[in-house]
Amino acid sequence: MTGKATTVKLSGGGRKMPYVGLGTYEVKGEEVGVALRAALECGYRHVDTAASYQNEEAIGDVLQEWLTSGKVTREELFITTKLPFIGTRAGDVAKFLQKSLQKLRVSYVDLYLIHSPVGFMGQHDEDHKPVDSEGNRVVDPNTDLESTWRAMEDQVECGRAHTIGISNFNSVQINRIMKGCRIPPANLQVEAQIYHQQKDLKAFCHKLGISFCAYSPLGAPYLTNGTGDRPPPLKHPRVTSIATRLKRTPAQVLLRFLIQLDMIVIPKSSNPDRIRENFQVFDFELSQEDMSSLEALDCGKEGRIVKLEESRRHHEYPFDIPF
C-alpha cells in the first residue's frame, strides 16, 4: 500500500476497515476509557477488543457517550470483537456474540473473529483462562472449526455481525474453512512485526481475498524479553535511524512499514500521547530503500513473539507448521 489511503475494502459487502485501529489487549476499566476517548478525539474510528480481554463493558460505555452526544455515528465506527477461546463451539457462537453486543451497547459489530482455532472448556462464561488442578489449560478435545464457522456465518445472516473472520489460524486451517464456507473470512488477524513479517501467510491470504491485520505491530513491548537476543523492534538501530532521519517516532516507522505492506495495524497503548502519535502515519511514506532495509530484518518463524504456549496441548495448535 502506498499513498494516503486510510481504509481497506473488505470482501463480502464492501465494508471499509481503517488501516489503524486501537488495540485494547489487557487494557481495562478506567484505563481503557481514557485510551479510547483519546483515540476517538484524534480520529481513530476502528476499535479492536475481545470477550477474553474483559473490557467490552468499559469500551461500550465510552462508545455510548460518543454516540448519544452525536460526536460520531455508528456508521463511522468499525468495531471488532472476538469469539473467546471458551466459546469455540458452534453452539456457543450466538450466545457469546450476544453477550459482547450487550456489553458494547451496540446492535451489531463490524467484524467478528474466531479468536483462536484452539478451544478451551471454561466452568462458566467468564472463565476465560480455565486451568486444571495442575495449572494446565483445560482444552476442548472436540473443537470443530468447520461447524464453528457455519455458526459464525449465521451471525452475518441474522445481522449481528457485518463481516466475520479468524485470528491465529494457519494456512491449513484457513484452507479447511474456505473449502466449505458460504461466507469466506473477510479478515485474518495474526501477530506481524519486523521480526515476524508473515510474508507467506499474507501472500496466501491475498490470493483468497482475505485482508490482513497485524496485532503486536510494535513487537509486544509489554512482554518481558519477548524478542530474545534481538533488540526490541522499537529500539532496533535500523528503526531508530530511519525515525531520526524522518523526524518520526520509532513506532510510526514500524506502523508505516506494515501499512505499506498492505497490513491493517492495531497498536495497543493506554498513553494518550502515544495513541495520537500512532495515528499520525498517513502523511509520510518510507522509501523503497527503507522498506528493503526493514524487510531484511524478517526472521520468519523464529521471529514470533506471541507463541500461545498455553494452547500447545490442543490438536489445533496453529504454530507448528511453516505458515
C-alpha cell at 120: 478451551
Selection from 60, 261, 82, 46 nearest residue 185 by Cα = 82
Question: Looking at residue 28, what DSSP letter applies?
Answer: -
Q: Is 91 left (phi over 0), alpha (psi -120 to 50) or beta?
A: alpha
User: What pairing do the DSSP bridges indicate for beta strands 161-167 and 109-114?
Assistant: parallel
Q: Hey, is 8 helix, strand or coil?
A: strand
Query: DSSP letters along 168-228, please?
Result: S--HHHHHHHHHH-SS--SEEEEE-BTTB--HHHHHHHHHHT-EEEEESTT--TTSTTTTT
Say which of 19, 53, 112, 215 is annotated catalytic.
Answer: 53
Q: Is 53 a catalytic residue?
A: yes
The CA R_g of the chain, rounded to the nearest whole Å, is: 19
Determine the Cα–Cα distance for residues 258 and 194; give it in Å rounded to an integer. 8
Active site residues per annotation: 53
